[in-house]
Amino acid sequence: MSKSHSHNESDRRDWARQVEKYCAERDLLLTPLRRQVLAILARAPAPLGAYAIIEELSREQGKGVAPPTVYRTLEFFLENGFLHKVESRNAYAPCEHLGHRHQGILLICEKCGRTDEIESPRFDKMLQETAAEAGFSAQRQVVEVEGLCEDCGHTPH
């Protein structure tokens, strides 16, 4: 099992650069709106909900932004594997492993909201096999584990 990078500002900027490079290499269009949403997500210390993104875009643009345009942008990022949807929070977090389909485990801090992504091929295989034994064909799996991140879990004595 490999642990993700911690979510510091440098890592988030690097994620945004990786998304831009990935799009350029595959002729995926990064419209001005997509770039703005990318920048907002890259600056966020924790996953953001669609309405938080809409509010920030409206503030930046000095006018109201239509929710459907933001939802289409988020759908583009999800379809291309740039984001995870944190279902329990109805929020979006950067995917740290671009370029391949995978089923990660999201570790969500209950205190600060930070979300770290872990990849575990053994765990993925176990979930697929368990579903198959039940006669179920899993198409998508998102495993969310809530607790305290390393920073929030260390309380001073």
pLDDT in tens, the chain (157 residues): 334 434 456 677 789 999 999 999 999 999 999 999 999 999 998 899 999 999 999 999 999 999 999 999 999 999 898 998 888 889 998 887 776 555 678 888 988 888 888 878 888 888 889 999 999 987 777 788 999 998 898 765 4
Q: Tell me the residue range of the domain where 83 lies.
A: 9-150
Q: Is position 4 within any domain?
A: no
CATH number of the domain at 104, please: 1.10.10.10
Which run of H or E residues covers position 50?
A: helix 50-61
The whole-angstrom separation of Cα 132 and Cα 137 is 6
Q: Are 40 and 48 in contact (CB under 8 A)?
A: yes
pLDDT tens profile 19-32? 999 999 999 999 99
User: What pLDDT, on a 0 to 100 scale, did the predictor assign at position 75?
Assistant: 94
Q: Are 93 and 106 in contact (CB under 8 A)?
A: yes
User: What pLDDT, on a 0 to 100 scale, did the predictor assign at position 155?
Assistant: 61
Which of 129, 123, 86 minimizes the C-alpha distance to 103? 123
Q: Is position 125 within any domain?
A: yes
Q: Is position 22 within any domain?
A: yes
The whole-angstrom separation of Cα 109 and Cα 107 is 7
The whole-angstrom separation of Cα 108 and Cα 24 is 31
CB atoms within 10 A of CB 85: 19
Question: Residue 112 gets which letter from DSSP?
Answer: T
Q: Is position 157 within any domain?
A: no
User: What pLDDT, on a 0 to 100 scale, did the predictor assign at position 6?
Assistant: 43
Q: Is position 33 within any domain?
A: yes
User: What pLDDT, on a 0 to 100 scale, did the predictor assign at position 103?
Assistant: 65
The total domain count for the chain is 1
User: What pLDDT, on a 0 to 100 scale, did the predictor assign at position 5?
Assistant: 38
